[in-house]
Amino acid sequence: MTALVDIANGRGLVAYVEKHLNRYASNLGKALEQGEAESVHDVRVASRRLTEPMRLIGGWVGRQETRKAIRRLRRVRRTLRKTRELDVLQASVAQSARDLAGLDASGLAQLEGILTQQRERSLTQARRRCAGSSGKGVEALVRQLVADFEQRVDRDTELLVAQEVERLFERWARRLLELDPRSSETDLHETRLCAKRLRYSAELMRDVGNRDNAALFQTLVEIQDVLGSWSDRLAAARCISAIARRRRVLAMQSAWAEALLRYSARMAQAATDDRSRIVEKWPQVHAAVLSALSDRCAAPSAGPGKRANEPV
């Protein structure tokens, strides 16, 4: 891990926000107007990556407005969540049609038709909910907050930007260590979300604070992939089983319902296997996070603290 040096940390933070805000804005229209699956995914990812920088910028421009931006970004992300889940499920069904034992071509086409209808409904709802300020309006709000931040950050508080980014990283690193999946009391969903936040804060620290830990980053990418697979398979099991358990399906198409339930059971078993893989990999994650925290504590100070003159 490289030592923290006096660089334009404020401009680095601005560049980070602008990069992901441009990604958000360029894909929002494609997601809502054209319904592109990849754009739906990109909008959600960009909105997540913008959240923590908004919290940091709030220290200079005031928390109220940045909280408003965070709420609107979260609303857009949640609005598109069902559409994204159905995109993943449709791709999974298409790739694993051979696992749907008992389904003939007609039965498979029926399932795909139902999933397509559900996606169309979820996208229609998303368009309606994003029609106001919670959708495109958030871009203008974030850009204004960034402009205000650029005017307020100065040479005396430049280093404070990097310090706050590092504190953010440490917060999520210590939280992830607490969410150890080897404990039966750990909610793996919370572990998954925390791993995302730590990865994004590591990216932010790399781009803003000039600290890069490639080994940690790669470890987080790998564990996030398995955690994502676990989550997607559970979502698939819930959705497919819900279709199979419809009263009309059970009464009129019992063989089709049975095939769907078998597929759901296989998805649930695959999720259990994913959890075992996560547990097996966790010592590597634990060691990488501890090493990153140790390196941070041993690194030279970012400069004299500015806590007495901390921004509002």
Distance CA 71, CA 65 (A): 10
Distance CA(184)–CA(276), nearest Å, equals: 12
| pLDDT-based confidence at residue 310 (cuts at 50, 70, 90) | very low
Count Cβ neighbours within 10 Å for each residue of 233-245 and write b for 16 or more, e otherwise: bbbbbebbbebbe
pLDDT digits (tens, 9 = 90+) for 223-245: 999 999 999 999 999 999 999 99
Q: What is the pLDDT of residue 303?
A: 40
Instruction: Decide if 177 contacts 286 (C-beta within 8 A).
Output: yes
pTM of the model: 0.84
The SS3 of residue 242 is helix
For domain 9-299, say whether CATH 1.40.20.10 is its number.
yes
Question: What would the pLDDT profile of 56-73 be if each residue is shown by its tens digit?
Answer: 999 899 899 899 999 999
Q: Are 164 and 59 in contact (CB under 8 A)?
A: yes
Extents of the domains making up the chain: 9-299
Query: Where do we find the tokens 């990216």?
Result: 203
Distance, CA of 123 to CA of 117 (rounded, Å) = 10
What stretches of the chain show up as alpha helix (H) in DSSP?
9-29, 37-61, 63-79, 81-95, 105-129, 137-152, 158-178, 188-208, 214-244, 247-252, 254-298
Q: What is the mean pLDDT of the chain?
A: 86
Res 6: pLDDT: 39
299 phi and psi, to 5 degrees? Answer: -70, 155
* pLDDT tens string 72-81: 999 999 999 9
